[in-house]
Amino acid sequence: MQIGSKLRRLRKLRGLTIEELADNSEITKGFISQLERDLAVPSVTTLKQILDVLGVEMSSFFTDISETERKLFSRGDRTVQTENNHFKIENLVPKMKYLEMEPLVLTIESHSKYVTEFDEDEGFGFIIRGKVQVEIENEKRIMERGDCFYIFFDNQLCIQNLASKSAEILMVYY
């Protein structure tokens, strides 16, 4: 069983460097590096030391291991997160515990507006289709297909569809 990518993902989610994880778990950074690249296999005791630092129960680590192996998703895997008369937000990949990004498609109906207080760490938007006005704090700009924007935590995001057809924006939250 390969566990390296999951260990790396958990370490990064916790904001730890290999050196910090090694120091806190009392294991060499070289061994942590080998584990993350699946070049070594830890003993149960060593794995428990690492998982304790990462704040993950061993049973949970192995129960969820299969969900990290999936990498390809089709349109049928999408789920609607929010939908009303003005906009729809779809999750592009199923909710999984250890994702570092959350990719979404925001569809805004003709001449409608989407407003939110952005509470993720940071995010990115790419205009797939349509003509919209994007406003983040005091900056406002008309954007069309192929344009993009970046947003940080604790900012208000306002996107207004200026066209007579629906607009689509790919959103990725970190």
Written as tens digits, the pLDDT of the chain (174 aa) is: 678 888 998 888 888 999 999 999 999 999 999 999 999 999 999 999 999 999 888 887 887 555 555 678 888 889 999 999 999 999 998 776 556 788 999 999 999 999 998 877 789 999 999 999 999 988 999 999 999 999 988 889 999 999 999 999 999 987
Retrieve residue 68's tokens.
């990290």
pLDDT at 1: 61
Q: Which domain holds residue 101?
A: 75-173
Q: Which residues 6+ apart lie within 8 Å of 102 measured at CB? A: 91, 120, 172, 173, 174
| Distance, CA of 99 to CA of 29 (rounded, Å) | 24
Last residue of a domain, one of 31, 47, 68: 68
Distances (CA, A) of 66 to 3, 5, 70, 96: 10, 12, 7, 10
Answer yes or no: do 83 and 168 share one domain.
Answer: yes
Alpha helices, DSSP H, located in 55-169 = 58-63
Answer yes or no: do 141 and 89 share one domain.
Answer: yes
Domain count within the chain = 2
Answer yes or no: do 35 and 92 share one domain.
Answer: no
**Single pTM value for the model:** 0.65
Answer yes or no: do 84 and 130 share one domain.
Answer: yes
Answer yes or no: do 102 and 87 share one domain.
Answer: yes
Q: What CATH number is attached to the domain comprising 103?
A: 2.60.120.10
Residues forming a β-bridge with 127: 169
Answer yes or no: do 35 and 84 share one domain.
Answer: no
For 26, counting Cβ atoms within 10 Å of its Cβ (0-12 exposed, 13-18 middle, 19+ buried), the class is exposed
